[in-house]
Amino acid sequence: MTPSIHDIHIARSEALPEPQLLRAELPTGETEAQFITASRAATRAVLRGVDDRLLVIVGPCSIHDPAAAIEYAQRLRAVAGRFADELLLVMRVYFEKPRTRMGWKGLVYDPSLDDQGDIGEGLRQARRILLACARLGVPAASEILDLVTPQYYAELLSWGAIGARTVESPLHRQMASALSAPVGFKNPTHGSISVAIDAIHVAGQAHRFPTISLEGKATVITTTGNPDAHLVLRGSGSGPNFDATSVQVAATALQAAGLPARLVIDFSHGNSNKDYARQVWVAADVARQLASGSRSICGVMLESHLVEGRQDIKNGRTGLRYGQSVTDACISWESTVDVLQVLAQAVKTRRRACQ
């Protein structure tokens, strides 16, 4: 008897809907498409320095409750006009969470928070939320973690991220070369800026690689490269890198590599020493740099939710506090508005100084 040599560790196989079928079920209308196109153009203008506003990517560490996500988007839309002259607000709408070991992997993988793993439903919920954001007039940002899921919703994003754990991955670099939105590459967890700079160069080049088509078939695509890949400083296990000296070092390294000296600072993760409350302190320091005339800092990232802190998933959705993160702890909505005010004032000061 011939022994089995394939799928030895596969417990179950389930079909996903073809990307085009999910897109047909939850289509992008002309109004939404025009809004996303305009939002991407605005984001590119800020990243390139054509627009002197500050890009602010703000929102929950991850999305676990669609209702709370929509309420957050509504609140963000309500304050966007107040800061529109100084800040370009883009909402964090993260559906996939990289895990060093184990834990809840995000709405796409486990939408019921009960380890059942209905990925088809997770993709459906993710697309619904992104469409709702577009209809509200709120640009959306997300980390691209899986190599397949972008076909289901990436066309709805105004900004994308390649995270600290995947920035060294050749597959993610070439995948980023195909994305339609600007993409930020975070420095890895060990802190090397050169790794992220290498990734930016690779993503900017043309690639040819296998993937799945909108029809769900294996295909080979050729990309033109993403001209708007950029650096995100998120600190590391060795310490933060948001300070003026670190920003100057990063800007110099970008220039030496033939890249624009433009970067985004993540207030969370290593830059806050994993203490969510310290994001406010980091924001104040970055605001001082902006007010002092820094042109290298073109964007920031902030983990924020309706309610501050975090909570554990114990029994699926049962018992969860509405509007509070189930992954990294976030600052409250009230603190978020305060931070936005500080950043907006810093942009005003920088603008006056440059006149």
**CATH number (domain holding residue 70):** 3.20.20.70
In angstroms, rounded to a whole number, what is the distance separating the alpha carbons of residues 77 and 16?
33
Q: Which domain holds residue 337?
A: 19-354
What's the domain count of the chain? 1
pLDDT value for 100: 59
pLDDT value for 101: 64
In angstroms, rounded to a whole number, what is the distance separating the alpha carbons of residues 3 and 302?
53
Residue 319 lies in a domain: yes
Residue 9 lies in a domain: no
Q: In 3D, which of 292, 230, 228 has the Cα closest to residue 265?
A: 230
Residue 326 lies in a domain: yes
Residue 52 lies in a domain: yes
Residue 69 lies in a domain: yes
CA dihedral of 204, 210, 213, 219, whole degrees rounded to 10:
130
In angstroms, rounded to a whole number, what is the distance separating the alpha carbons of residues 167 and 151?
20
Q: In 3D, which of 210, 208, 202 has the Cα closest to residue 223?
A: 208
Question: In what helix (H) or strand (E) does residue 280 lie, and over which residues does it extend?
Answer: helix 278-291
Q: How far apart are the first and last CA of the chain?
A: 82
Angle CA(279)–CA(167)–CA(59) in degrees, nearest 5?
A: 35
Q: Which residues pair with 54 in a beta bridge?
A: 87
Residue 73 lies in a domain: yes
Q: Global pTM?
A: 0.96
Residue 181 lies in a domain: yes
For the chain, residues with pLDDT lower than 70 are 99-101, 355
pLDDT value for 172: 97
Residue 124 lies in a domain: yes
